[in-house]
Structure 1
């Protein structure tokens, strides 16, 4: 990196402040809930002014969007791009293993998921942000969309969106709320029974060799 490309001290400080605001907002949202946290709470935590906050973010929905953008991008790249490859194998067993890894992803991000849901409920301006995050996931699955064909592309996207929604609700009720008892069953196997055929184009719904 040349001297011209290297960030100035002012730019470095600005980035540190932005990162500190994001970290403070995430910590407080997780600990107290989205509604209870104010911009003053976040700025007091960091030790900066409201004016500084508004140099970086337009408000609470925007700061949560920035927090969620990193999570959503990680999901699109590491989880749903992998699903695209798994579906291309034609293996139910591989799909079951993918579901287990997807649940692991939810476990790693379980602290922010209730905050996201709360913001969607309370902030009308946040709903398009949440909808866009889900809509981006099929874009990480080009082979899957191609298998459905151009004339059925919207249906393929909808099915991926429904899968996302059910996995989120399943994880919330099972692991976060504890209101869904799976007893001695393996939820990944049950979810495979539901979702593996549902994601395949009708003409591809036949038993796979080697499963």
Structure 2
């Protein structure tokens, strides 16, 4: 009987991690931390697998046990470092939806301003890596399906939902680029209000 199936475990409890499991998790986290540091210093395009493994203190073979490319590391960083959004966090349409839209923009703006290296790496990857750009579009397509399924914009057509989602992504990306890349002095509250007003008008 293995450590993860010991008879004294309570039913439904999470399985215990073996030493090998813990080492694997620590190595994976080390790779992601090294990659984020490298992306922040050199930019996504310039960073190589060798840069990442050197910073992480591992060999290339170990890297490829966990990831098949630097794009895969960046996708994992995006998925694990971003706040887990609940259904309640999604912006809602209709005349009373403005508070939910503002709360959404506040959350996403605060996340990216607290993780500027991640934003910049994601922005660069979408511009330089066709596979990463395709994955980003797939995420947007999933948003369209989710908004339709959850009736996020009551009475809206699919075309109207697509427009709202395009505006949402574009506004966030544009303001983040102004703040984090160009250093343009735009006041946070004013920016959130402007994005909220624009998306609310589209989602009514």
TMscore range, shorter length: 0.7 to 0.9
Is 1:47 equivalent to 2:76 in the alignment? no
Corresponding residue of 1:190: 194
Q: Which moved more, 1:23-32 or 1:186-195?
A: 186-195
Measure how far apart 1:57 and its partner are. 0.6
- Provide Cα deviations, 1:82-140, integer angstroms capped at 9, x if missing partner: 243x5467054664455344422331232211111111222122111222233344566
Q: TM-score, normalised by structure 1?
A: 0.75
Kindly indicate whether residue 182 of structure 2 is the aligned counterpart of residue 177 of structure 1: yes
Matched positions, count: 193
Flag structure 1 segments of 5+ consecutive residues without an equivalent: 201-211
- Per-residue deviation, residues 131-163 of structure 1 (Å, max 9, x unmatched): 2233344566554436135xx235314412321
* Distance in 2 of aligned mates of 1:139 and 1:106: 25
- TM-score of the aligned structures, taking structure 2 as reference length: 0.77
| SS of aligned partner of 1:147 | coil
For structure 2, the residue ranges without an aligned partner over 5 or more in a row are 6-14
> Hey, what's the Cα distance between the residues in 1 that align with 2:122 and 2:160?
26
Map of 1:58 onto structure 2 = 68
1:46-125 equivalence runs, <5 A: 46-71=56-81, 74=83, 77=85, 81-84=88-91, 87=93, 90=96, 92=98, 95-96=101-102, 98-125=104-131
In the alignment, which residue of structure 2 is the partner of 1:156? 161
- Alpha carbons of structure 1 residues 120 and 101: separation in structure 2 relative to 1, 3 Å: closer
Specify whether residues 82 and 3 from structure 1 end up closer, same or farther in structure 2 by C-alpha distance, changes over 3 A only.
closer
Report how far residue 187 of structure 1 moved.
2.8
